[in-house]
Chains A and B, each alone.
Chain A
Amino acid sequence: MVKWSIVNENLAFANYGKMRRMRYIKNKKAQFKIQQTAFMLLGVVLFFILVGLFWLSLKSSGIKKSAANLEQEQAIALALSIAESPELSCSGNNAGQCVDFDKAMIIKNLKTFHTLWPISKLEVRRIYPSYADGNVMKECSTDSYSSCNILTIIDDNADNEKASASSFVKLCRKEKNAEGYIYDKCELGEIIVGI
């Protein structure tokens, strides 16, 4: 009797151990499944994040490109039209595509006008006749009025210039000849706009 009970006890113990082992294996399997699902989900999320980042980089390069195009278009539009603004345009018959050199010289020193245009650089160059000494550019001032070849009207933050454009213009100023006759002396120039 005692022997049988020991056998039964041993059997029960063995069954209990087996059950525990089975539960352990089942738990292990479940944990493995959870890990598998978690990794899979993590993979999916990472995949979407990577796709999103790729899409964003493409999109931002597109935005940068279209912003640069718009800046360039604006620079061209301003280069073509700024010479015709009342602040710089010539008087009387020389009105079209003509920069009044007298006005340009004054605006260089009148800082109020520098905030009028959305630009960082505005430069007027005298092309012909050239008063350059070789490749050396001579900046215009009231002293070197008629023998200079570059007039920098605005030069703010030129290092961060995003776009620039230029246009050929007439450069006119009032002069008086030996007989006392007042006339508009016009030369060939170039207006350079930087944004």
Chain B
Amino acid sequence: MDKRGFEFSFAWLFAVIVGAAIIFIAIYAGGKILRTGEFQQSTETAKALTTLLDPLGVGAGGSGESAKSGIISLSSPITLYNDCFTDGSFGRQRFSTSGKKAFSEESGEKGEGIEASNKYIFTRSQIAGREIYFFSKPFEMPFKVADIIVISSENYCFVKPPTGISDEIESLGIKNIAVKDTTAECIRNISGIKKEGIVCFGFSNNDCGQMVIDTSAGRDFSSGYVEKNLGENPERSSRKKYFAGGLVYAAIMSDNENYECNSRRLMMKANALARLYLEKSKLLSIRGVCDTGMDEGLLRLSGFISQYYKASVDLLGVEAAAKTLNQNSFCKLW
């Protein structure tokens, strides 16, 4: 019988083992390089977006005219992550992104977070899309505290908002907010609108995703609260997001956690600015320029914020305290 066999020499064994190791290392390194590339891309995108938002974060001085809006169009969809912290003197926000995974529809590697203390970005904790809508608006209490930035990727439909709000949406040209008279119109005219995107002002029905309740004296929704419509789930607790000083859009378009954290940060900044204006008032007096007569009021406002502000519900109290500050017309501080 002819028993012809294949001689599996050491050279072959060595080549197979080392070859397998090389292939394994190559695949591992390839995967690692791909992930590093995704990480780098996501980090660069987050940094570029943060830089892009820099001019919006500080606005253009003055008051209402510094509001701006726009759309960031991206070549491929991204997911934005927004973490907010209240540590330090002003708190901070960490902004990170992740792009689409290579050869897949899934979200890829999350990049390094870019932190900023001078931005107040109100969003859901995670938003995804190819088109990101944003607008900025000054927040005043009574002096300008910061320009808040509201970012979202979803469509909203405001039902029966007050004239002030509908005019503002029109003048700012906010593309993802439509104004309608009924919830049925929202469902009929805006394709793919989510229930949470239907926002009812001063009334409620089953189609409303969120309700805005007015508590202002002028009945113009300048202060009040936003509540989710939980429908037939009354046992689920819904936290009310209280707003004042133009935070109504932020309250509608951000998460509870993000809203509470950023409104607290705004109050930290308002407190620091009250101290700054107090120092400016003293300096003007020392230099013999003028006496503002606001030292006591500013000290009271600063004390009120640092002692009593715990959550957004206290915004209404801060606003009332801020309204008592009347500037001397010939010696203005702000």
The chain A residues found within 8 Å of chain B, CB to CB, are 30, 33-34, 37-38, 41, 44-45, 48, 52, 63, 66, 70, 73-74, 77-78, 80-82, 84-87, 89-92, 95-96, 98, 100, 102-103, 105-107, 110, 112-113, 115-118, 142, 145, 174-176, 182
Bound complex: CA A77 to CA B15 (Å) = 57
A-B contact pairs, 10 of them (CB 8 A): A74-B47, A77-B51, A84-B66, A89-B144, A90-B61, A102-B284, A106-B279, A107-B276, A116-B118, A176-B288
Given A86-B146, A110-B276, A115-B89, are A95 and B14 neighbors across the interface (CB < 8 Å)?
Answer: no
Q: Which of B58, B143, B333 has most chain A Cβ within 10 Å?
A: B58
| B290: nearest chain-A partner, CB-CB | A182
Contact A74 B54 (CB under 8 A): yes
Indicate if B107 sits at the interface (CB-CB under 8 A). no
For A142, what are the chain B residues with a Cβ–Cβ distance below 8 Å?
283
For A176, what are the chain B residues with a Cβ–Cβ distance below 8 Å?
288-290
Contact B55 A77 (CB under 8 A): yes
B47 partner, pick from A70, A174, A175, A182, beta carbons under 8 A: A70
Indicate if B259 sits at the interface (CB-CB under 8 A). no
Bound complex: CA A78 to CA B51 (Å) = 8
Indicate if B48 sits at the interface (CB-CB under 8 A). yes
For A37, what are the chain B residues with a Cβ–Cβ distance below 8 Å?
11, 14-15
Q: Which of B262-304 contact A (CB under 8 A)?
A: 272-273, 275-276, 279-280, 283-284, 287-290
Contact B44 A115 (CB under 8 A): no
Indicate if B88 sits at the interface (CB-CB under 8 A). yes
A81 partner, pick from B29, B54, B284, beta carbons under 8 A: B54
Bound complex: CA A48 to CA B28 (Å) = 14
Given A41-B18, A77-B51, are A89 and B61 neighbors across the interface (CB < 8 Å)?
Answer: yes
For A34, what are the chain B residues with a Cβ–Cβ distance below 8 Å?
10-11, 14
For B48, what are the chain A residues with a Cβ–Cβ distance below 8 Å?
70, 73
| A82: nearest chain-B partner, CB-CB | B58
Bound complex: CA A63 to CA B44 (Å) = 9
B272 partner, pick from A84, A103, A112, beta carbons under 8 A: A112
For B279, what are the chain A residues with a Cβ–Cβ distance below 8 Å?
106, 110
Contact code string B36-77 (vs A, CB < 8 Å = 1, else 0): 000010001001101110110111111000100000000000
Q: Which of B14, B15, B54, B59 has most chain A Cβ within 10 Å?
A: B54
Q: Which of B15, B44, B48, B280 has most chain A Cβ within 10 Å?
A: B280
| B146: nearest chain-A partner, CB-CB | A86
B88 partner, pick from A77, A100, A107, A115, beta carbons under 8 A: A115
Indicate if B116 sits at the interface (CB-CB under 8 A). yes
Bound complex: CA A37 to CA B18 (Å) = 10
Bound complex: CA A161 to CA B54 (Å) = 19
For B47, what are the chain A residues with a Cβ–Cβ distance below 8 Å?
70, 74
Contact B118 A85 (CB under 8 A): yes
Given A37-B11, A91-B332, are A48 and B58 neighbors across the interface (CB < 8 Å)?
Answer: no
Contact A85 B15 (CB under 8 A): no
Bound complex: CA A129 to CA B236 (Å) = 66
Bound complex: CA A8 to CA B248 (Å) = 113
Contact A112 B89 (CB under 8 A): yes
Bound complex: CA A58 to CA B204 (Å) = 60
Given A70-B47, A74-B54, are A87 and B276 neighbors across the interface (CB < 8 Å)?
Answer: yes
Nearest CB in chain B: distance from A139 CB, A: 18
Contact B58 A81 (CB under 8 A): yes
- 14 additional A-B pairs beyond A78-B54, A82-B58, A106-B283, beta carbons within 8 Å, are A52-B29, A70-B47, A74-B54, A81-B57, A85-B58, A86-B144, A86-B334, A102-B284, A106-B280, A110-B276, A110-B279, A112-B275, A118-B117, A142-B283
